């Protein structure tokens, strides 16, 4: 069995998604047009081909291996999750010189259109490039304060000429004063690339706290809850847990990892944590139901409450809420979208079948 083809949705479903340019299928499959020799994303804005002239592939590499060329309009080799080259160059420049102030004139000198950059950062980070830079510098200041650096030094090291300006910017970004931040728990976040689109990962010293697709509608509410209810100070950054989940996700999507080992920290009610613990007991390549989980918790009438806790899970894929289906076998809801849920289940099912011995 070939895991590349096993993860494809049903043919009729892919035809419908292609004709409708359904963004929920971005990264789930690629369309290859036999009459032109070109392959595209399902959301390509070019004139739609006749369904009988199209074949579908799970990965861009498969299209290339079959002799197809990448579409110049939708650029399928630039996966939706991956920052384009000009953004990657800029991010490397920021890492090399974190204190540099990037003006629009400097961006233009580097061949970067400021408005285009603003739109990209708003779409993928939820803030402008300059706001991201400012938050990043304040995150460094937060780390310094946590290590005992005085607020005065943290302010001036961050490029602020006045303490009042620093305090105002700090409180606006982190919803807490610099003084109180010294006793708070910093929650660092980074953007990750996946075949199903960009994700955001957040981790503190005890483990991974959040892993969500960036287009999840509930993401803003989840981050605000972490800030307001659990006292986290959220800032751009990186740590060992974020590096580990990035590596493990890559192996998972390649079909080479069936169990995550990254440390987790799951703030929530006692019942929610019990449900999330049960989710982690569902084996790779298998599914369960809300009713089964409720029964395992000794509360057979709590299916609805289990479903609510399942929906509040902040750790997509790692705490596998996608493995919970309806009692009738339907996919039911999923915060990342049902096409992604179906993709993940097909991926895991294919991985299990590949490891099973052949029957003769």
Q: In the sheet that 54-57 helps form, which strands lie side by side, from edge to edge? A: 54-57, 30-33, 38-40, 69-70
71 among annotated binding-site residues: yes
44 among annotated binding-site residues: yes
Nearest Cα neighbor of 71 from 47, 39, 27, 49 is 39
Taking each helix axis as running N to C, give the angle between helix 129-146 and helix 114-125, from 0 to 180 degrees, rounded to the nearest 10.
60
In the beta sheet, which residues pair with residue 324?
288
Q: In the sheet that 207-213 helps form, which strands lie side by side, from edge to edge? A: 207-213, 199-204, 185-192, 232-236
Are 212 and 251 in contact by the 8 Å Cβ rule? The answer is no
63 among annotated binding-site residues: no
Given the residues 18, 40, 181, 196, select the one marked as catalytic: 40
Taking each helix axis as running N to C, give the angle between helix 129-146 and helix 163-174, from 0 to 180 degrees, rounded to the nearest 10.
100
Q: Which two tokens stand for residue 209?
A: 């706290």
Are 323 and 288 in contact by the 8 Å Cβ rule? The answer is yes
Are 29 and 57 in contact by the 8 Å Cβ rule? The answer is yes
Given the residues 24, 58, 321, 324, select the one marked as catalytic: 321
Are 254 and 263 in contact by the 8 Å Cβ rule? The answer is no
Nearest Cα neighbor of 342 from 58, 44, 60 is 58
- In angstroms, the CA 127 to CA 121 distance is 6
- Is-catalytic flag, 63? no
How many helices, marked H, and strands, marked E, lie in the chain?
Answer: 16, 10
Catalytic residues: 40, 321
Binding residues for Zn(2+): 40, 44, 71, 74
């Amino acid at each position: 069995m070939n895991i590349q083809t096993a993860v494809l949705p049903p043919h009729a479903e892919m035809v419908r998604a292609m004709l409708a340019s359904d963004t929920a299928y971005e990264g789930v499959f690629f369309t290859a047009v036999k009459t032109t020799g070109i392959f595209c994303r399902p959301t390509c804005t070019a004139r739609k081909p006749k369904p009988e002239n199209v074949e579908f592939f799970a990965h861009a590499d498969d299209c290339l291996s079959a002799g197809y060329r990448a579409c110049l309009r939708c650029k399928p080799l630039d996966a939706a999750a991956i920052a384009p080259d000009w953004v990657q160059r800029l991010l490397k420049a920021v890492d090399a010189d974190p204190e540099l102030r990037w003006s629009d004139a400097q961006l233009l000198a580097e061949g970067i259109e400021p408005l285009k950059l603003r739109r990209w950062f708003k779409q993928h980070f939820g803030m402008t490039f300059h706001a991201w830079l400012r938050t990043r510098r304040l995150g460094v200041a937060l780390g310094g304060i946590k290590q005992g650096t005085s607020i005065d030094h943290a302010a001036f090291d961050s490029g602020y000429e006045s303490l009042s300006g620093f305090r105002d910017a700090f409180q606006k970004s982190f919803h807490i004063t610099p003084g109180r931040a010294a006793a708070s728990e910093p929650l660092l976040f980074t953007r990750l690339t996946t075949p199903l689109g960009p994700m955001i990962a957040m981790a503190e010293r005890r483990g991974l706290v959040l892993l969500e697709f960036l287009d999840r509608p509930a993401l803003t509410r989840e981050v605000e809850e972490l800030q307001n209810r659990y006292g986290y100070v959220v800032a751009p950054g990186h740590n060992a847990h974020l590096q580990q989940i990035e590596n493990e996700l890559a192996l998972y999507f390649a079909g080479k990892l069936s169990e995550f080992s990254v440390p987790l920290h799951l703030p929530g009610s006692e019942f929610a944590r019990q449900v999330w613990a049960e989710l982690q007991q569902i084996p790779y390549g298998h599914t369960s139901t809300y009713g089964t989980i409720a029964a395992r918790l000794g509360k057979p009438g709590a299916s609805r409450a289990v479903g609510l806790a399942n929906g509040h899970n902040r750790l997509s894929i790692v705490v596998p809420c996608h493995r919970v289906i309806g009692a009738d076998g339907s996919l039911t809801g999923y915060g990342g979208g049902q096409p992604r849920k179906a993709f993940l289940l097909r991926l895991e099912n294919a991985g299990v079948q590949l490891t099973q011995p052949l029957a003769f």
